[in-house]
Amino acid sequence: MRMIKTAMIVLSASGLLALGCSKGSDGGGTPAPLPPVPVSLVAAKFDNTAALTSFTNYNVKLSPVIRLSFNNVIDRSTATAISVKENGVTTQTSSYSYENGDSTVVVSPAAALKALTRYTVDVTTLLKSTKGGALSNAFTISFITQIDSTDKFPVLSDNALLDLVQQQTFKYFWDYGHPVSGLARERSNATPETVTTGGSGFGIMAIPIAINRNFISRAQGLTRMQTIVGFLKNTAQKFHGAFPHWLNGSTGVVIPFSQKDDGADLVETSYLMAGLLTARQYFDGTSAAEINLRADINTLWNAVEWNWFRQGSQNVLYWHWSPNYAWQMNHKIEGWNECLITYILAASSTTFGIPQVVYKEGFARNGAMQNGSTYYGYQLPLGAANGGPLFFAHYSFLGVNPNGLSDVYANYQTQTTNHTKINYEYCRANPRGYFGYSSLCWGLTASDVPNGYNANEPNNDIGVISPTAALSSFPYTPTESMNALKFFYYKLGDKIWKQYGFVDGFSLKDLWYADSHLAIDQGPIIVMIENYRSALVWNLFTSCPEVKNGMKNVLGFTAPYL
């Protein structure tokens, strides 16, 4: 037994000796080092607000403190792998400090950043920890800085500011009007030969305003009107008395709006006729020039075959007719939308008028255009949910005063006011969280947008504010519209106030500002501001005896002015 135990002791000793020899076989006495742990971002903050790493961060201060926290202690000598760049290109000089035992790098741009500008925080794989691990994946954090709240122009009185906006906007029609026809060009950034009939109607309405505000003389306004009316009467193509959407401003030949829209456009014609009737009522002098102007306008007005656009004897008007495609577009003019004025003028015509049934069954759809639901606390008598784009409340009501106006379907003062207030409240509530929307920055209507054109409204909102929306709503929301005007002019004026007034649209979330002005958006700004100030165009248009008769006796409207 003793011999066995001795043998076991010897064996155990040999095993220990062997283990001891194996342990020292690498020539050292310490464990092999572990591989470096990669560096990864744990958290990011702008000042004390958590930053989004996959989306753009908005409203960042102009002197931000940027904190980037990592899972490892950072080697300070590699911190310059973190940079702040303007538009992802121009590197901003920055200082670096450290927190949390050097696992948080604090980056502070040396100079204040530019307002409303896109910047990036770029971090490359050159960033390393003190243990030698490198950033596992480079990353970029995008941010847009806050609005500069300083005034960009000297402060004016409210009246002086309204004068300035009307005068500057009028230059679109006066200075940029087509040199041959005098008509309004479609837009400032397109073929200059393309003139718009509807937009020209809005521009014609602006001429009496410009005379009354002393932007031009009466003689100048009369001369321009003679040019316009002479061109429309003697040169421009017409189809059953109606005009196309677009014309060549030199030749008067149709420029197709689309393939089959190469003939009459009854809605655009109604905007043009509303402008011409307004001018007819304004130029009421006894001189031969003014008498002849009125006669020529009557010739154009009386030639429009409104009832022919019933496409037979249907109780609805059709929008288009083409000499090449006839009625193929087959687009009924049905409400609620911007086309009330078309039915009013069709009912007012003494030569080719329509009966009330065409309005009731066609435009009103026997009452189907009514709504009655409440949005943001305001009941909407007519139209789609939330009201649609605000031009519905503008185009027909440049000449037709909605105050006190009613028929069996709606009170139109309630309709236009509540539609506007719903639009305002939507922007103020900002349910989609778009940067820039507020009680000062509001207004959705059709306008240019990044890479195109869109009928902006609460149900089709892509983050673009159209200045015409709030500014053409002065008669309905004077306080909210004045607040918007002051914000657009004083706070954003360096970006959106241009040669012909405010640009067509802008998006603060995309840092996009249109380079365009459109006749159909500029005209309502001038006209509706004037209607708010003096009711001039409302009074002129509704003084037409034909219009009074058409609205009251044919269509059944009631209003104090009828």
How do beta strands 66-70 and 452-455 pair? unpaired
pLDDT band at 470 (very low <50, low <70, confident <90, very high): very high
Instruction: At 391, list the tokens.
Output: 């031009």
Model confidence at 302: pLDDT above 90: yes
Check for a shared fold between 41-145 and 158-554.
no
The neighbouring-strand residues paired with 321 are: 264
Question: Of all residues in the chain, what percent carry a pLDDT higher than 70?
Answer: 94
**What pLDDT does residue 28 have?**
53
**What pLDDT does residue 541 have?**
98
Among residues 304, 356, 360, 309, which one has the least CA distance to residue 331? 309
Model confidence at 15: pLDDT above 90: no
Q: Which phi and psi (to 5°) does residue 96 adopt? A: -130, 135
pLDDT band at 222 (very low <50, low <70, confident <90, very high): very high
Which residues, 6+ apart, have CB-to-CB distance to 93 below 8 Å?
109, 110, 111
Mean pLDDT of the residues in the chain = 94
**What pLDDT does residue 36 have?**
84
Instruction: Write the pLDDT tens digit of every residue in 105-117.
Output: 999 999 999 999 9
**What pLDDT does residue 35 have?**
77
Name the class of domain 41-145: mainly beta
Residue 12 burial (C-beta neighbours within 10 Å; 0-12, 13-18, 19+): exposed
**What pLDDT does residue 10 have?**
35
Lowest-confidence pick of 12-21, 209-218, 341-350, 406-415: 12-21
Quick one: angle between helices 158-174 and 478-486, nearest 10? 80
Among residues 413, 398, 338, which one has the least CA distance to residue 525? 398
Tokens 């911007």 locate to: 338
Lowest-confidence pick of 128-137, 277-286, 338-347: 128-137
Separation of alpha carbons 369 and 371, rounded Å: 7
Is 539 or 18 the better-scoring residue by pLDDT?
Answer: 539
What CATH topology corresponds to 158-554? Glycosyltransferase (1.50.10)
Q: What is the mean pLDDT of residues 465-493?
A: 98
Q: Where are the domains of the chain?
A: 41-145, 158-554
Name the H helices within 430-551.
467-471, 478-486, 493-496, 519-533, 536-541, 545-549
Instruction: At 398, list the tokens.
Output: 């440049």
Q: What is the mean pLDDT of residues 518-544?
A: 98
Separation of alpha carbons 525 and 539, rounded Å: 17
Q: What is the mean pLDDT of residues 176-190?
A: 97
Separation of alpha carbons 472 and 443, rounded Å: 10
